[in-house]
Amino acid sequence: MLRNYIIPIVLFSSSALFWFLNDYYQEQIYFNLFLSFLITGIIFICYGIITGRIAKTLIKDRKTQITFNKGILVISFILFLFLIIQIWVKNTESLVISYGIIAAGIAIALQDLFRNFVGGIIITLTSVYKIGDRVEVEGSFGDIMDIGIMNTTMMEIKGWIDAEQPTGRLIIMPNSIVISGMIYNYTKDHNFIWDEIRIPLTYDSDWKSAISNIMQIVKTETGEMTLQAEAEVERLGEKYYLPKKVTDPAIYVKLTDNWVELGIRYVTDSKSRRIHNDKLNREILENIAASDTYHIASETMDITGKHTVEVIRN
């Protein structure tokens, strides 16, 4: 607990030291150092109060707390730079030139860091993604764990693992990706996605009966999620232009060379897709196994050959 007060004590002690030095020597540099340490200490204390006490009191959700704290950190850093420049550059014309030189220097010498910093501000202000979101960025999939000033950390999913399951690796990606990259957010403004299961049935199967029975299974298992998806679609329509999307499960029939394919489409939770997919597959397999009228098909092949006739001469 004591170490939380070490930095403020050092900052305010340094500020007091330069105040006495300025009072004795009457030098501008000591006064500037006094103000610099004082402002740094005040910003540090305010940041601690806002992110520590106020955030924990007003914001109960842990993910929202972390996102809020990151935003306050960015604002504090910008405010610190602005005030420090105001202290050390007094001439208005020189101030404008200083800002220009600093901006040019950052843009040229530190353009990657600058892009990452700007990307962090964009993420904080526009909520391209937030902590807890599931995203795809540049072909990598993961759940956002932390959003820093320069980088974003996410837990990788997929990779060498089948479906949306974590691999255990952490992906550290630069925030500049939001400036020029494509971000696919699974959970922004809603928590559902559409999923499909394809089932091949033999041509001699009673596919109408299969559709009826399988549809009953799907409706039972996805009923709650379907209702939730309908409510979220209504809410999305208030924020974006969104044509009406059918959230009820559906089964589509497709003819192939070897079987009748049933395409089962349904809504599911973005982060539980594999679990729901597995449960539906198991119940559908049990239903098909118990049926005498429809069966799973497998690929077949017709082989055509010619008889060889051997002629024996005496």
Token readout for 224 is 């709650």
The pLDDT of residue 280? 95
**Largest distance between two CA atoms of the chain:** 133
Q: What is the 8-class DSSP label of residue 4?
A: G
Sheet with 151-157, side-by-side order of all strands: 166-174, 151-157, 140-147, 134-137, 183-185
Do 172 and 203 have their domain in common? Answer: no
Mean pLDDT (whole number) for 62-82: 80
Least confident of 12-26, 153-167, 234-248, 296-310: 296-310
CATH of residue 244: 3.30.70.100
Domain span at 161: 134-185
In angstroms, what is the C-alpha Rg of the chain?
Answer: 32
Phi/psi for 224 (5° steps) reads: -65, -45
- Is the pLDDT at 191 greater than 70? The verdict is yes
Mean pLDDT (whole number) for 237-264: 86
* Distances, alpha carbon 181 to alpha carbons 137, 235, 241, in Å: 8, 27, 23
Establish if 314 belongs to a structural domain: no
Sheet with 250-255, side-by-side order of all strands: 192-201, 260-269, 250-255
Do 181 and 238 have their domain in common? Answer: no
Could you tell me which residue, 217 or 117, shows the higher pLDDT? 217
- State how many domains the chain has: 3
Please give the Cα distance from 211 to 225 (Å, whole number). Answer: 21
Residue 218's pLDDT band, with cuts at 50, 70 and 90, is very high
The pLDDT of residue 312? 57
Mean pLDDT of all residues belonging to the chain: 84
CATH of residue 163: 2.30.30
Q: Which amino acid makes up residue 262? A: L
> Pick from 129, 158, 127, 128: which is nearest to 141 by CA?
158
- Is the pLDDT at 35 greater than 60? The verdict is yes
Q: Which amino acid makes up residue 183? A: I
Do 240 and 152 have their domain in common? Answer: no
Mean pLDDT (whole number) for 18-38: 88
Please give the Cα distance from 200 to 208 (Å, whole number). Answer: 13
Query: Are 265 and 248 within 8 A, CB to CB?
Result: no
pLDDT digits (tens, 9 = 90+) for 80-114: 888 888 888 766 566 666 667 766 765 665 577 77
Establish if 241 belongs to a structural domain: yes
Q: Which residue has the tokens 């109960």?
A: 60
The pLDDT of residue 94? 62
Please give the Cα distance from 106 to 102 (Å, whole number). Answer: 6
Do 206 and 241 have their domain in common? Answer: yes
Residue 25's pLDDT band, with cuts at 50, 70 and 90, is confident
